[in-house]
């Protein structure tokens, strides 16, 4: 067993993982799916089907445009009823296809299975790219890009992220319990592509069952499991790498700079499906939870399932929620519509009741220093926030605002309820804009 290191700062919010004992359920086929063509960071996919086209499950609907992009596949069989736009979780309209299901769920001809022990890293990368795999932890970064580090950066350690440090979410936990073998296979495929010698799975020690299951599944392949203390944001890339390897990602750098790559356990399972079964990524496990819900749980949703369908599956609500969040309570995005579809990176749908509402107010900082103590990046959010209120962005840059990972620990602890994360995000955007303007000159 690996000795784990403690990163500085962090918080321990109430875990509230009520759905952790609810097994993953396969929902029935719906009448329609709203499939966004942008479910990832980068350029949206370009539709290759037109209105009225018949499609089968797993058929390509949109092809990747450019390197940082990902294709999109049909979640079920049916007819493309409309080429349209829909609301994404970020609140922006994105191009989308409305798929009317024919109820048969007929599969398209699968891509041929690949024997990954024999296949070249190039072939495996190509398959991962063709299957539309993106990081399922939340950022939705196209996986193939991550798996193609520059040749001078040698990756020796692959870290699987099974931490799930966001309160309330349990999707990764259930996935580890139910699909441990596939996760291990996906990890081995990834390690083969990268030439990584070592595979470590990091799991918070509030999931002893998952630690045990993963340890057994990985034992024969030399995969180590690192039991991590429960501390948010243990699952943040830089903090996780430090905890399991002791290496620090340099400020402004990438994990590849120190020979590491972090991948979500869900992404690993999707890679195994794509390579061994030829199955593209069109479904994912999502936790639907929150006190207003009748029966929270975990479902394997097809992408394009709207939030309202997901909430119906969870039995509807007992009381009206005050917030609906796409993702977890610490970093998720509040949404205002139930017509938003679940996409490849939707790890959870969280409903908060009225008494769980947090409102931020612009009251003065009393300099208590709690944000300092909780910042896992060792920044000074309190000082930064005052600088940012005065629009001193160049000063904020000097005080390392660009290192912020937006984990929200500072705002969580702030007794004055200051909107610290909003301030930091704004400064990051302003600094980015200033840098771009400078580079453009």
Partner 1 sequence: MSENTIRLPDTSKLVISSSPHLHEDDSVRRIMFMVILALLPACIAGAWFFGPRALWVLLVCVASCVACEILCTRLMGREVHVSDGSAALTGLLLGMNLPVTTPTWICVIGSAIAIVLGKMIYGGLGYNPFNPALVGRVALLLAFPTVMTTWIAPMTRRLEWAGVNSVTQATPLGVSELTAGTLPFSYWDLFWGRTGGCIGETCVPALLLGGIFLIALNIIRWHVPVFYLATVAIITGVTHWLAPAQCAPPLYHLLSGGLMLGAFFMATDMVTTPLSRKGAVVFAVGCGVLTSVIRIWGSYPEGVSFSILIMNSLTPLIDRWTAGKPFGTPRRAPREVKP
Q: Which of 139, 415, 432, 436 binds partner 1 (CB under 8 A)?
A: 415
If binding is defined by CB under 8 A, does position 217 make contact with partner 1? no
Residue 386 and residue 366 in contact, taking contact as beta carbons nearer than 8 Å: no
| Nearer to partner 1 among residue 272 and residue 324 (C-beta) | 324
> Which residues, 6+ apart, have CB-to-CB distance to 398 below 8 Å?
none
DSSP H helical segments within 231-329, as ranges? 237-245, 265-272, 307-313
Residue 260 and residue 241 in contact, taking contact as beta carbons nearer than 8 Å: yes
Taking residue 63's Cβ as centre, other Cβ atoms within 10 Å add up to: 16
| Nearer to partner 1 among residue 182 and residue 309 (C-beta) | 309
> Which residues, 6+ apart, have CB-to-CB distance to 397 below 8 Å?
427, 431
Q: Which of 81, 248, 300, 392 binds partner 1 (CB under 8 A)?
A: 248
> Of residues 345-404, which lie at the interface with partner 1 (CB under 8 A)?
350-352, 356-360, 363-369, 372-373, 376-380, 382-383, 399-400, 403
| Nearer to partner 1 among residue 337 and residue 432 (C-beta) | 337
Binding track over 124-163 against partner 1, x by CB under 8 A: ------------------------------x-x-------
DSSP 336-375: S-S-PBP-TT--EEEEE-GGG-------------HHHHH-
Q: Which of 158, 183, 225, 421 binds partner 1 (CB under 8 A)?
A: 421
| Nearer to partner 1 among residue 268 and residue 421 (C-beta) | 421
| Nearer to partner 1 among residue 273 and residue 309 (C-beta) | 309
Q: Which of 100, 167, 224, 276 binds partner 1 (CB under 8 A)?
A: 167
If binding is defined by CB under 8 A, does position 315 make contact with partner 1? yes
If binding is defined by CB under 8 A, does position 103 make contact with partner 1? no
If binding is defined by CB under 8 A, does position 249 make contact with partner 1? yes
| Nearer to partner 1 among residue 103 and residue 253 (C-beta) | 253
Give least dist CB 7 to partner 1, A: 7
> Of residues 256-285, which lie at the interface with partner 1 (CB under 8 A)?
257-259
> Of residues 83-102, which lie at the interface with partner 1 (CB under 8 A)?
91
If binding is defined by CB under 8 A, does position 5 make contact with partner 1? no
> Which residues, 6+ apart, have CB-to-CB distance to 251 below 8 Å?
400, 403
| Total residues belonging to the chain | 441
| Nearer to partner 1 among residue 304 and residue 382 (C-beta) | 382
CA distances from 31 to 98, 102, 183, 243, 313 (A): 10, 8, 31, 45, 14
Give least dist CB 403 to partner 1, A: 4
Q: Checking phi first, is residue 56 left (phi over 0); if not, alpha (psi -120 to 50) or beta? A: beta
| Nearer to partner 1 among residue 71 and residue 297 (C-beta) | 297
Give least dist CB 441 to partner 1, A: 28
CA dist 230 and 159 (Å) reads: 18
CA dist 437 and 421 (Å) reads: 24
CA distances from 243 to 73, 253, 268, 408 (A): 36, 18, 20, 19
Q: Which of 40, 127, 198, 323 binds partner 1 (CB under 8 A)?
A: 323
Q: Which of 126, 312, 395, 431 binds partner 1 (CB under 8 A)?
A: 312
How many helices and strands (H and E) does the chain possess? 13, 17
Give least dist CB 217 to partner 1, A: 27
If binding is defined by CB under 8 A, does position 318 make contact with partner 1? yes
Do β-strands 78-87 and 93-101 pair in parallel, antiparallel, or remain unpaired? antiparallel
Q: Which of 63, 82, 389, 406 binds partner 1 (CB under 8 A)?
A: 406
CA dist 16 and 409 (Å) reads: 17
CA dist 202 and 199 (Å) reads: 10
Give least dist CB 247 to partner 1, A: 8
If binding is defined by CB under 8 A, does position 289 make contact with partner 1? no
State the DSSP code for 142. Answer: B
């Amino acid at each position: 067993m690996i000795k784990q290191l403690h990163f500085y700062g962090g918080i321990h919010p109430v875990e509230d993982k009520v759905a952790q004992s609810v097994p993953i359920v396969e929902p029935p086929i719906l009448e329609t799916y709203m499939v966004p063509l942008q479910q990832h960071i980068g350029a949206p996919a370009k539709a290759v089907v037109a209105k009225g086209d018949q499609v089968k499950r797993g058929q390509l609907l949109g092809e990747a445009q450019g390197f940082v992009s990902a294709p999109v596949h049909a979640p079920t069989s049916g007819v493309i009823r409309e080429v349209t736009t829909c609301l994404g979780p970020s609140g922006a309209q994105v191009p989308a296809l409305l798929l009317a299901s024919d109820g048969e769920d007929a599969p398209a001809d699968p891509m041929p299975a690949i024997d990954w022990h024999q296949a070249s890293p190039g072939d495996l990368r190509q398959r991962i790219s063709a299957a539309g795999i993106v990081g399922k932890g939340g950022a939705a970064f196209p996986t193939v890009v991550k798996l193609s580090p520059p040749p001078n950066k040698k990756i020796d350690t692959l870290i699987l992220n099974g931490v799930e440090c966001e309160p309330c979410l349990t999707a990764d936990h259930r996935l580890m319990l139910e699909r441990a073998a596939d996760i291990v296979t996906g990890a081995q495929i990834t390690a083969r592509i990268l030439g990584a010698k070592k595979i470590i799975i990091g799991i918070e020690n509030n999931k002893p069952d998952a630690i045990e299951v993963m340890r057994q599944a990985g034992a024969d392949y030399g995969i180590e499991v690192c039991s991590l203390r429960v501390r948010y944001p243990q699952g943040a890339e830089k903090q996780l790498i430090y905890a399991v390897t002791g290496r620090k990602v340099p400020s402004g750098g990438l994990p590849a700079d120190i020979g590491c790559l972090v991948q979500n356990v869900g992404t690993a399972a999707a890679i195994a499906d794509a390579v061994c079964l030829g199955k593209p990524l069109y479904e994912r496990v999502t936790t639907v939870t929150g006190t207003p819900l009748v029966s929270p749980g975990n479902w394997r949703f097809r992408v394009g399932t709207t939030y309202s369908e997901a909430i119906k599956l969870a039995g509807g609500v007992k009381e009206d929620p005050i917030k609906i969040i796409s993702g977890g309570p610490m970093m998720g995005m509040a949404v205002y519509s139930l017509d938003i579809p679940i996409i490849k990176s939707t790890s959870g749908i969280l409903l908060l009741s009225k008494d769980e509402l947090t409102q931020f107010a612009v009251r003065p900082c009393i300099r208590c220093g709690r944000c300092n103590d909780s910042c896992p990046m060792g920044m000074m959010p309190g000082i930064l926030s005052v600088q940012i209120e005065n629009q001193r962005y160049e000063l904020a840059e000097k005080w390392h605002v660009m290192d912020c990972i937006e984990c929200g620990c500072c705002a969580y602890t702030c007794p004055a309820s200051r909107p610290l994360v909003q301030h930091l995000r704004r400064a990051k955007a302003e600094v980015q804009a200033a840098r771009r303007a400078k580079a453009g000159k």
